[in-house]
A and B are shown apart, each in its own frame.
Chain A
């Protein structure tokens, strides 16, 4: 059959993935700590139909051959780790990371997940949990009767009890970083898992040795830029239309051939 049909099909498929990525980004425009995805396209292999330099007659050579591309593929999606804007909330348990780094969250199955979403809450035992109720790692328990809670830039959590004037240190939130954060696996719920491509987690103190500092009372906004996504959507949609035009053109050619011979 007409090979352009299959080439255009790969184009439609890729633009389809592109649109899914754009719509997921747009849906998460207000998600705390969300990092936008970018669909990465690459051209598929080329097939040599006629080798350049082949003999065209006994003593002449073809100056150029015919190499046909076979279309496009989505080689993956890439998380773009630019920092989102920090927004002040004034909540003592809202934490933002200013710079590189992640918080660690213990999943119900005991594994550690990583997040930049610092919207923490207290559970019924006074432990710091994320929005889904998963424990912060290492676990920090805020004592009863706490009047004010202070979390310093290097992650030291101190609480002042009712009736006291001096705060007591109750724990420290460490920072974890990866050499290739783009290789982390997103599992939803603003959480990421370590993979072979992200490298091993390296734990350190916030605000030191290249780790970002912790800002209490701030949240990191999504880094999705609405205008950019809408422009992407336009290019994706028009590219989709043009590829479907190719499919219909190839279809009409085959139809014409079938009807006229």
Chain B
């Protein structure tokens, strides 16, 4: 039987994977500071005893889109956006530092500064803890100053500085938990505090998913899929005709 059937089948299967990736982008079109995933297919020739005449399609997620999303004014003092490029450092579930753009923070019952996903934000010397305060101010460079509960208006205490980083984008990779980490981090290699990353207070960054693009891509993958199925049908018809010729009358 003609192996073209398998090529068309794998194409159709990879199309559904691509569609899942775009569906995930669309599902997160309203998720704060979500980074869109790219999705593309690559031809994978099969090497073997013969010449590589067959090339299967293979779906890939090469990277995530690092273009900033729109900053939206919320008026809440603990909503933090980042101007242009840069990342907040958070304490990942593995106890290591990970990066996110998500800054919808709150102070929990232990005074820890945590974001909407529940990850604790890192400061200059580890996770940030904020004492009871009456007024909190987070400056452009991430310096957190508070007027502690009960203090005079003139007494402003500097608590910590948000750890803001700007690692090489080509080495950033989205993990299974949606946080970003630096790929192939050498032992002893530290990502320095970036001085040109600016915090925008009272703003939140919207998802950077372009709904029009994602929906169009889904439509395009849909039609491609139909063509693959059509190919499978054609191969099937060829096989039927062949067997009819061979029929003994």
Contact = CB atoms under 8 A, between A and B. Distances in A.
B23 interface: yes
Contacts of B178: 42-46, 69
Interface in B227-241: 229-230, 232-233, 236
A56 B45 CA distance: 10
B24 A7 contact: yes
B92 to A, nearest CB: 13
Interface string A68-96: 11111001001011100000000000000
A244 to B, nearest CB: 10
B122 interface: no
Interface residues of B, number: 65
B28 A260 contact: no
B219 A249 contact: yes
A14 B27 CA distance: 8
Contacts, number: 193
Given A40-B104, A249-B218, A47 B176 contact: yes
Contact of B27 (A10, A40, A75, A177): A10
Interface of B: 12, 16-17, 19-32, 34, 37, 44, 47, 58-63, 74-76, 104, 106-109, 111, 116-118, 132-134, 148-151, 173-178, 211, 214-215, 218-219, 222, 225-226, 229-230, 232-233, 236
A184 B174 CA distance: 33
Contacts of A44: 178
Most A C-beta atoms less than 10 A away, residue of B109, B133, B215, B229: B109
A245 B203 CA distance: 31
A57 B24 contact: no
Contacts of A196: 109
B16 to A, nearest CB: 5
A196 to B, nearest CB: 7
Give the dominant DSSP class at B's interface.
mixed
A116 interface: no
B104 A45 contact: no
A18 to B, nearest CB: 6
Nearest to A47: B176
A65 interface: yes
Most A C-beta atoms less than 10 A away, residue of B16, B20, B104, B151: B20
A153 interface: no
A198 interface: yes
A66 B60 contact: yes
A134 interface: no
26 contacts: A40-B104, A41-B28, A42-B117, A43-B24, A49-B17, A62-B60, A64-B60, A64-B61, A64-B62, A65-B61, A67-B37, A71-B27, A80-B74, A81-B76, A82-B75, A99-B134, A235-B29, A242-B214, A245-B215, A246-B23, A246-B26, A250-B19, A253-B222, A256-B229, A261-B232, A261-B233
